[in-house]
Amino acid sequence: MDESNALNLSELNDDLRIQNKGQAAQADPGHAQDVESGDLRQITYFELARLMERASRRFSGLIRAELTKLRVDDVGPAQAMILLAIGDSELSVAELLDRGHYVGSNVSYYLKQLADGDYIDRVASQRDKRSARIKLTEKGRQLRANLRDAAMTYERAVKRGDQDQRMLETAFQTLHELELAWANASRFGV
């Protein structure tokens, strides 16, 4: 993506804030505005989970739009995330499952699509023929590079300085801790 795309993304974000009459940025980060009543209420973990789900769908939409710009019609957002998770590594399906927390049956389907599209190579393990190692092909590496470039351009468009970087790091750390807490609670109980 070029510099003009970065400016367009920034303008789009500003337009969305104007259309939503500033609702995109709440004055009190510890409270959320109820959509129906307009009342402020305390943010709960349930509401945070709902926000993460919506953000995930929006991110999938962003990936889908980028794939469309790149004229890639045989890969969807889930497969693109798998390409990003594989990266420069050669790994087993089990290792991929650990990296991305995917559902096993979905990963098998996605990997078959990626192999059919020549985005990944699946090589049978020398020790266990039932197991396979996967790595990106040149076509897969190129798509991954294009998606990473687009992500960097988008980050430059929305990041306004060091304060934004610190907020991003804090959000990441908080969400990571929450993920670990929820994982432990689901395994061992509350």
**3-state class (DSSP) for residue 132:** strand
SS3 78: helix
Q: How does the average pLDDT of the chain come out, rounded? A: 81
pLDDT at 87 over 70: yes
Helix (H, G, I), strand (E, B) or coil at 58: helix
The domain total for the chain is 1
Q: What is the pTM of this model?
A: 0.71
CA gap 94, 115 in Å, rounded: 17
pLDDT of residue 39: 67
Is pLDDT at 3 greater than 50 in this prediction?
A: no
pLDDT of residue 147 exceeding 50: yes
Asked if residue 170 belongs to a domain, the reply is no
Tokens for 78, please give them.
Answer: 């889930």
Within-domain flag for 84: yes
Q: Averaged over 83-103, what is the pLDDT? A: 87
User: How far is Cα 117 from Cα 67, in angstroms, rounded to an integer?
Assistant: 14
What would the mean pLDDT of 147-167 be, rounded to a whole number?
88
Report which of residues 31 and 145 the model is more confident about.
145
- Predicted local distance difference test score (pLDDT) of residue 15: 45
Q: Per the domain annotation, does 174 fall within a domain?
A: no
- Looking at the DSSP assignment, which residues form a beta bridge with residue 123? 133
Give the model confidence (pLDDT) of 42-53 as tens digits. Answer: 888 888 889 999
Between the ranges 37-41, 116-120, 122-126, 151-155, where is the mean pLDDT highest?
Answer: 116-120
Domain containing residue 140: 3-32+39-160
What's the CATH code of the domain at 83? Answer: 1.10.10.10
